[in-house]
Structure 1
């Protein structure tokens, strides 16, 4: 178990590192992270270590029971797809189906050649407004 002093020291370091990460993110346009690190007398490896520690501290501060997976209702009118006529020839039936998986926030959408462009546009529009 960490002592209270070491926890306070770590918290102080994390705040300092978070400010440093913010400064790096606000660096002038065209300046690379490597250049910013050299100008601020820090190695690139140390910068990324500190960045990882700040991110870990942020994730650790989120209560595990606060993360909820919500079901977002999609209006039925968005679920109607345009009719698509597809012709399958003997060669395409033998090939593996090609697809594109789009993953974000723990969700995956599989898009195939048979996916309606209308439906895909509507689903992506709904997902763009999910918080």
Structure 2
């Protein structure tokens, strides 16, 4: 079977498979109701699944950039790019012992904070 004939049959059976799926019927019942051989249906289902799997696992993807130019799809290769891990810089050598966040507000506190200041911070967060 040449490529054009195969492509036409694949398109034809893809349409048949979609009609079957959209009907909501059991595949065998749908085949009987539409005069299609079960064996032929499941044969083409297997072929279409293999085609879909091959397309998913392919490293190159065919992309048609202009619908009018469907005869010459372009090949596009993808490469994985790793991004550096974003770390917040330590400011003025201060390393907080605790960070309290509420909404968009963030308060960094050290263990040397006074009880009075800690109480006021608690009141502010409680007031919101």
TM interval, shorter chain, is 0.3 to 0.5
Structure having the higher strand fraction is 2
Structure whose alpha-carbon radius of gyration is higher: 2
